[in-house]
Amino acid sequence: MARATLVLLLMLALPAAARTFNVGGVQYHEAGDPGAPLVFLLHGTPGSSRAFNHLLNDERLIAARHLIAVDRPGFGASASLPPARSFADQVPLLDPALKRNRSDVPAVVAGHSLGGSIAYRVAVDRPEAVGALVIISSSLSPRLGRPRWYNRLAAIPGVRYVVPANLMRANDEIMPLSRELKAIEPSLAAIAMPVTIIHGARDKLVSVRNLNFAQERLSAANLTLIRVPKAGHFLLWEQAEIVVEALLATSPNTPCNVAVPAASKEESKRPNCQELRQCNAICRGYPRSS
């Protein structure tokens, strides 16, 4: 955890994107080639667009992609706005970015943690505008997305007033997560686009078993599952190279092909997922779904 904290602090210290724009109080941060394929970045909770500073400053991404990261309502430079009440309310966040898409291909939507869960809803509601997804350490299973004991504790009226405001806003987003995922579950089979999912094998905040659920439910997607050995929930920063490679490799109608570190001896004893149905997978130690 100490290493993850240090890596995160170093990433946040990077300069933000040189270009910003504001639409209705929602702040957007832009980098890269305006004529290149668009990558729209959704942060988790609590969080802000600063979570993607290292991507907005990555030389390879800047040269090949048009990057736009949003501060979702209630967070970062959009903190003065009330948080969105549902995933459906967050889908329109994509619209100002789409208006700046000068390429001839649909956008790639990428999200970390809760941002990845929201990205699924964006793909369901705007299939004509979204050409591919890159999901990092996110929940998809309604059962695995249930609030934990500390989320329920923080939601108690007598307790919530002593919880810092930023964390309370985050908890308010986590509490309905399972219900939001249940709402889109019937539509997951209709997501017919490249979907790359990256998850740490040792993620203690969001279960890696979400990969199994994705394999079962995303039956029409050109699916790539990347299970990163020894990585936890913060692989967005600790394993940034894998994320960058995935963003460069994933595009509409093109499956991802990313190399990942070798598994440990213990993890390599488990079946891998290289022959899974509907999956172009580069994984290590990912058990087959029953």
Whole-number pLDDT of residue 260: 57
The CATH number of residue 202's host domain is 3.40.50.1820
Banded pLDDT at 268 (limits 50, 70, 90): very low
Whole-number pLDDT of residue 201: 97
Range of the structural domain that residue 216 is part of: 35-46+86-231+245-268
3-state secondary structure 133-154: EEEECCCCCCCCCCCCHHHHHH
The answer to whether position 275 is within a domain reads no
Which residue has better confidence, 229 or 267?
229
Interatomic CA distance for residues 283 and 32, integer angstroms: 30
The answer to whether position 22 is within a domain reads no
What are 199's strand-pairing partners? 227
If you average pLDDT over residues 20-36, what whole number do you get? Answer: 96
- pLDDT of 153 > 70? The answer is yes
Neighbour-count burial for 5-25, b at 16+ CB within 10 Å, e otherwise: eebbeebeeeebbeeeeeeee
The answer to whether position 290 is within a domain reads no
Whole-number pLDDT of residue 252: 87
Whole-number pLDDT of residue 154: 93
The answer to whether position 156 is within a domain reads yes
* pLDDT tens digits for range 41-67: 999 999 999 999 999 999 999 999 999
Instruction: Determine if the peptide bond prior to 46 is cis (ω within 30°).
Output: yes
CA nearest 239: which of 115, 68, 54? 54
* pLDDT tens digits for range 209-255: 999 999 999 999 999 999 999 999 999 999 999 999 999 999 886 65
The answer to whether position 11 is within a domain reads no
Whole-number pLDDT of residue 282: 38
The answer to whether position 66 is within a domain reads no
If you average pLDDT over residues 83-94, what whole number do you get? Answer: 96
CB 76 within 8 A of CB 48: yes
Domains identified in the chain, total number: 1
Whole-number pLDDT of residue 280: 37
- pLDDT of 2 > 80? The answer is no
What are 271's strand-pairing partners? none
CB 7 within 8 A of CB 234: yes
